[in-house]
Copies of this chain bind each other. A is one copy, B any other.
Amino acid sequence: MTPFQAPLDDIFHSLRSLAGDLPGWDADLSEEIARHFASLAEGVLAPLNATGDQQGCRLENGRVRMPAGFSDAFARLGEDGWQGLTAPEAFGGQDMDHLTAAALSEIFSGANHALQMVTGLVPGTVSTLLAHGTTDQQARFIPRLVAGEWLSSMALTEAGAGSDLSQIRTRARPDGESWRIDGQKIFISGGDQDISRGILHLVLARTGKPEDGVKGLSLFLCPSEIDGIRNSVSVTRIEEKLGLHASPTCQMEFDGARAELIGVEGRGLAAMFTMMNHARLDVALQGVAHAARAHAIAAAYAADRQQGRMPDGSPAALSDHPDVQRMLAEQRTLARGARGMCHLALAQIERGDCPALVEFLTPLCKIHGSEAGIRSADLGIQILGGYGYLEEYGMSQVWRDARITAIYEGANGIHALTLATRGLRLDGGAAIPAFVDLVVRLAPDDAELAGRAQQWQATALEIAQAGDARARADQFAHDSATLLSRAVLLRLDA
């Protein structure tokens, strides 16, 4: 199997081209940090990717056992300070910017998506604590997360409440100064594991009446142990999945588990969204990572493998065949275009001057990034032919791991709908001209692009006014992604 190599040059060419004008961002320092992390990812995280997939996780006496080597790898992440990269210095973090964090997030996903699933919620949890927690909660929980002693999980989904969180039944009841949680959650990534001392579960539970829907939900901090004693939280099952075998997807039972409220009672969904917005661009970057990794494996294989003849009769490499070149080029376009879109969205978040555009770009990146990863892995399987269908060459795992990204953190169809409704309407439709402006400024001299951007604007206005977004959302999301990706590539190639 082609060893994992972090695509540092591509990542930083993209960041410099698309976000380089961001005030205060030090590209050289950022690249230096990413280079250090890349070395850890290549040397420590990536070698566990295939073995983790083969071994998977096991549930033994109610506890999850992770594959061999994962515990040591996580210890290295903690020791070297990577878990606290974006956390404030006051809590032991390094207060690093989100562009650098995005570069690292992509590299981590490409090296070992499953391990990232288990360790990767910490920055979102820290943000949630900073935004909604009390000073006391911040002081108690952030340092241990930053130090790599604890990890965190996000416990939202229930059997009857997937995309529709209004159906959540898990209940929280006051118990003196704290709360008790009762209920079942499913699809909880890293709901248990044996690589960190403790786990801070962020649990969405009902404090109001069922008929209150999402307004009856509050967010809770539910530690796996309190003062050294295990809390009443248990894993009742781990799922057999298509991929991400080294990431335990847990069914969890909260049986009067002790917890504390974070934020305002009844405003749980808003608190949770701090965490989820964070996660959405991370998912997009997972897709980018898979797209790039699939291309790297396929390009190396196609250059090496002899197959057939050139038109002049001399022996040909697989990469000499036009149809293989077509597939390799599409993979590369997908990776670069989707990565660039994420970098644009991150820069827009940092700028903070047009929240409506951020609300439009975030689901767009989630959709296009995830689909880019899946499509590129699928092309990779096709390029490798029979070998692509074997587990041995690693391409199959890229696809299997990538496939979830179009589903979790909000299925793509729901993001398309969000983008075509809320995204187009927020702040009086401010995203529409802002998106056109974003596209055109990426390649100001390209008349064809400008024409397409005008067409897009007409369609967007039509959808915003006609209110037929439900039927047109999927096509509109894909057209939007095609347009922005095209503009991104023009800029990257300029």
List residues of chain A with CB under 8 Å of any chain B CB: 157, 160, 162-164, 186-187, 239-243, 306-309, 321-324, 326-327, 374, 378, 381-382, 385-386, 388-392, 396, 399-400, 403-404, 406-408, 411-414, 416-417, 470-471, 473-474
Contact A392/B240 with A187-B386, A385-B407 known, Cβ cut-off 8 Å? yes
In-complex Cβ contact of A326 among B307, B308, B474 (8 A): B474
A326 to B309, CA, bound (A): 43
Are A404 and B389 CB-contacts (below 8 A) given A163-B307, A323-B413, A417-B323? Answer: yes
Q: Contacts A242-B396, A307-B163 given: A407-B386 contact, CB under 8 Å?
A: yes
CB-defined contacts of A404 to chain B, threshold 8 Å:
389
Residue ID in chain B nearest A417 by CB atoms = B323
Of the A-B pairs whose beta carbons lie under 8 Å apart in the complex, a sample of 26, sorted by A's number, is A157-B386, A162-B307, A162-B386, A163-B385, A164-B307, A186-B386, A187-B386, A240-B390, A241-B389, A241-B390, A241-B396, A242-B389, A242-B396, A321-B470, A322-B471, A323-B413, A323-B470, A323-B473, A323-B474, A327-B413, A381-B403, A382-B406, A382-B412, A382-B413, A386-B408, A389-B407
Chain B residues near A163 (CB, 8 Å)?
307-308, 385
> Could you say which residues of chain B place their CB within 8 Å of the CB of A240?
390-392
Say whether B407 contacts A388, CB under 8 Å.
Answer: yes
**Closest chain B residue to A324 by CB distance?**
B413
**Cβ contact of A323, chosen from B162, B186, B391, B416, cutoff 8 A:** B416
B407 touches A160 (CB 8 A): no
User: Looking across the interface, which residue of chain B has its beta carbon closest to that of A374?
Assistant: B378
Task: Tell me the minimal C-beta distance from A52 to chain B in angstroms.
Answer: 15
Q: Are the CB atoms of B322 and A470 closer together than 8 Å?
A: yes
Question: CA A132 – CA B238 in complex, angstroms?
Answer: 55
Q: Are A411 and B385 in contact (CB under 8 A)?
A: yes
A403 with B389: CB separation less than 8 A: yes
Residues of B within 8 A of A326 (CB): 471, 474
Contacts of A413 in B (CB 8 A): 321, 323-324, 327, 382
Give every chain B residue within 8 A of A473 (Cβ-Cβ): 323
Q: Which chain B residues lie closer than 8 Å to A309 at the CB level?
A: 164
- Shortest CB-to-CB span from A372 to chain B, Å, is 14
Q: Which residue of B lies closest to A327 (CB)?
A: B413
Shortest Cβ distance from A110 into chain B, in angstroms?
20
Question: Distance (Å) between the CB of A193 and the closest chain B CB?
Answer: 19
Give the 4 A-B residue pairs with the shortest CB-CB distance, closest first: A323-B413, A242-B396, A240-B391, A322-B470
Closest-by-CB residue of B relative to A186 is: B386
User: In whole angstroms, what is the CA distance A323 to B306 when docked?
Assistant: 44
* Chain B min CB distance to A187 (Å): 5
Given A162-B385, A164-B307, A390 and B324 contact (CB-CB distance below 8 Å) = no
B164, B186, B243: the one contacting A308 at CB < 8 Å is B164
Q: How far is the CB of A320 from chain B (nearest CB, A)?
A: 11
Which residues of B lie under 8 Å from residue A157 when comparing CB positions? 386
User: Which chain B residues lie closer than 8 Å to A242 at the CB level?
Assistant: 381, 389-391, 396, 399-400
**Is B241 in contact with A391, judged by CB distance below 8 angstroms?**
yes
Cα–Cα distance between A417 and B162 once the two chains are bound (Å): 45
Instruction: Kindly provide the distance from the CB of A416 to the nearest chain B CB, expressed in whole angstroms.
Output: 7
* A326, closest chain B residue (CB): B474
Q: Which residues of B contact A321 (CB under 8 A)?
A: 413, 470
Do A411 and B382 touch (CB < 8 A)?
yes
